[in-house]
Structure 1
């Protein structure tokens, strides 16, 4: 990389980029690790089962499990030279959180299986941090943008070429029109599109990706959002981009009060007329959105269970077992369908680890936000906002094994971890553009 190219890189994140950007062994390992982690192997091989079948939650593929374990070991070996980073916030807070999740596996319905699931989540954080340490944070974004673009492009091809595999399986066992793609679920596939849009808009890459590739990536992401019909992903993409825009400089920040007023007015108008919600729903019925597409029923059930064990919860990977036992309470609302999780991160953490888990999780989230403010880098805030937008109606990756949603949090954490470092003499670039 020439001096001019280096100086032209995006500030802030760009200061941690290596002098050269090429494809190495670590890059290949990251591609395989991320791509396979995101694959819904059982659905693609025809082995998918209804949510009411307990066997659905078994480890779907021994190779996938081995990859998570291998990634965790390799990352731990690489990070042995960076122990100090693991002991600094927000990573240290995250390790305390994972430590508590590991303790909850002791009273989980399936202890060994739950412990392995927690290790797969930790694996993603370690792999991302290790890669960023070795190759540079912007290069991590480069590789992920490339991986996700290919992943989504193949999902789109699959949607038209093999409809029986790539269309969503509905609660009643029928097949709907939403695209599941290689991720196995519209929201799991849509989250990747949100990441692409936010990362490219916030200029998180190293500057080595061509404009043609970025245009292709954005196009693929937008097509994915249309085919998945994932409102959660669309909202997350909008939230991430909006936060970056508003925090980019003080002039943009002046729009914040205006947007708050407009949002409050819109909410008031919607409350007066349900027909507005009906237009936004897929079925044409406002009840679909008022119940969160059926989620409000499981939120009520989740809260009733939380009140019985508010401090410790029920252990990691316990929701499906509990919901199976209590499913008769939902028969009048969602039929035979059993929700596999609570569809809300706060409720999910309370169910798994009680108030302790929620409190320990708030620490790294607050630390990431604090680092974003101290570094005056709106990119970190944009990533965090994108992730938190998903958690309103999804478990945010803290459900079972590592999935697509956990990657967004891992990226925000790694970016915050790097932001606290002083710039070296060789990489003395201008800070991110934030005025005021």
Structure 2
């Protein structure tokens, strides 16, 4: 069992996009061999995870516990039929199925074990990032001309370090709260916060502030729901008023903060992407079929956007591009179901909130081998299994109350 736990941490660590992307990136170590090693490594992970899942559970029965994910995977697998690059769509779809197997494997562990895995993963990212910043600053700190000496640690971009540090702060906060421990969580939370600030990732910093506001509300909701809902509506009123003031004084506020109103060019990009979505609204362009540089549909975007993006910088637009409104509807139904199931699960709810907010500005949805999609699959199947067990227990109590009472007296 210890070996399986270590394997789970290794899976999550590499899914954060740590080390390998930095080793193979042109502005990192630029070691080309890692471009070939990484896919082979993940295939090995898939095989090991599949063997372990088969040993621990009935794979078919587990998959059937959440049919929405299966339907989404089916659409993605078939999308090679209308993709401009069918071979790429097939290969990427297979990697996505492998990622599903990884999610199933992690879902076989308890919630406490999953939190511990995230703690170990976060700790490795924090320690190694600090090590790289101290001893390999030429790789761990981005050039001044691009990102003003922002820290990226063991990752290929500052935004990736930022979001991983937010997850680290979230995981350690929940761990400390549940286990009534202060010293070690405090050390890692402070270290993660320092790395987050030095990453200069505005999106991740904003996300942390939102989670900091919601965390006490989620805790309060479990005890005093009416009070929590009242506070929520009060905060929403404040946010609405602040939004109105921002819209009235957007130019002045942006100038004061040293930012531009296009969110670093994102809004201009989103307008063009929305136009492209409406050209293939039902099924999209196929999985991984849109962003093909000047050789694919993305050439229209590149002709109008000088910085040549390779993704939408918005998870929901990315889903629409690849799977159309059909895929977006399936994912939305899955997400809403999870929100309902997680209403009494503080940690799962915060993870879902993290995914919901972060994907308004970056893309981490329905991607192979990515930390956040793996976690989404894990909690999806974890909560589906938990809900089914509770449902069975409830039906047994309803149908045979006397039998249960008799057994409890023995």
Aligned partner of 1:29 in structure 2 is 7
Q: How does 1:359-398 map to 2 (within 5 A)?
A: 359-373=329-343, 376-398=344-366
Q: Which has the higher relative contact order, 1 or 2, with Cα contacts under 8 A spaced 6 or more apart?
A: 1
Residue-pair matches, total: 377
Q: How does 1:55-66 map to 2 (within 5 A)?
A: 61-66=35-40
Output one character per residue of 1:346-400: Cα deviation in whole Å (capped at 9) or x when no partner.
Answer: 2111111111111111121011012123xx223322111111111101122445x
Q: 1:46 to 1:264 in 2, by over 3 A?
A: closer
Confirm or deny: 8 A CA contact 1:109 1:315 kept in the other structure: yes
Name the Cα RMSD after superposition.
3.0
CA drift at 1:140: 1.8
Give the whole-Å Cα distance in 2 for the aligned partners of 1:389 and 1:108: 29
Confirm or deny: 8 A CA contact 1:102 1:118 kept in the other structure: yes
Give the whole-Å Cα distance in 1 for the aligned partners of 2:24 and 2:212: 36
Q: Name the stretch that deviates more: 78-87 or 351-360.
A: 78-87
Give the whole-Å Cα distance in 2 for the aligned partners of 1:210 and 1:128: 29
Confirm or deny: 8 A CA contact 1:372 1:381 kept in the other structure: yes
Q: 1:259 to 1:310 in 2, by over 3 A?
A: same
Confirm or deny: 8 A CA contact 1:121 1:402 kept in the other structure: yes
Output one character per residue of 1:170-190: Cα deviation in whole Å (capped at 9) or x when no partner.
Answer: 9xx846322222221222222
Confirm or deny: 8 A CA contact 2:106 2:378 kept in the other structure: no
Structure 2: gaps of 5 or more residues = 394-410
Confirm or deny: 8 A CA contact 1:197 1:221 kept in the other structure: yes
Q: 1:105 to 1:215 in 2, by over 3 A?
A: farther
Q: 1:75 to 1:97 in 2, by over 3 A?
A: same
Confirm or deny: 8 A CA contact 1:324 1:338 kept in the other structure: no
CA drift at 1:26: 0.8
Confirm or deny: 8 A CA contact 1:371 1:419 kept in the other structure: no
Aligned partner of 2:403 in structure 1 is none
Give the whole-Å Cα distance in 1 for the aligned partners of 2:9 and 2:328: 32
Query: Could you tell me which of 305, 315, 323 is aligned with 1:345?
Result: 315
CA drift at 1:253: 3.1
Matched, 1:188 2:160: yes
Q: Name the stretch that deviates more: 384-393 or 187-196.
A: 187-196
Matched, 1:197 2:190: no
Matched, 1:79 2:50: no
Q: How does 1:84-123 map to 2 (within 5 A)?
A: 84-89=61-66, 92-123=67-98
What SS does the aligned partner of 2:287 have? coil
Q: Name the stretch that deviates more: 124-133 or 380-389.
A: 124-133
The structure number with the bigger radius of gyration is: 2
Aligned partner of 1:152 in structure 2 is 126
Q: 1:233 to 1:127 in 2, by over 3 A?
A: same
Output one character per residue of 1:82-138: Cα deviation in whole Å (capped at 9) or x when no partner.
Answer: 33232113xx311221221121133334333333333334434432432341x4221
* Structure 1 length-normalised TM: 0.77
Structure 1: gaps of 5 or more residues = 1-22, 50-55, 426-436
Q: 1:312 to 1:46 in 2, by over 3 A?
A: closer
- The structure with the greater share of residues assigned to helix is 2
Query: Could you tell me which of 129, 135, 147 is aligned with 2:104?
Result: 129
Confirm or deny: 8 A CA contact 2:196 2:204 kept in the other structure: yes
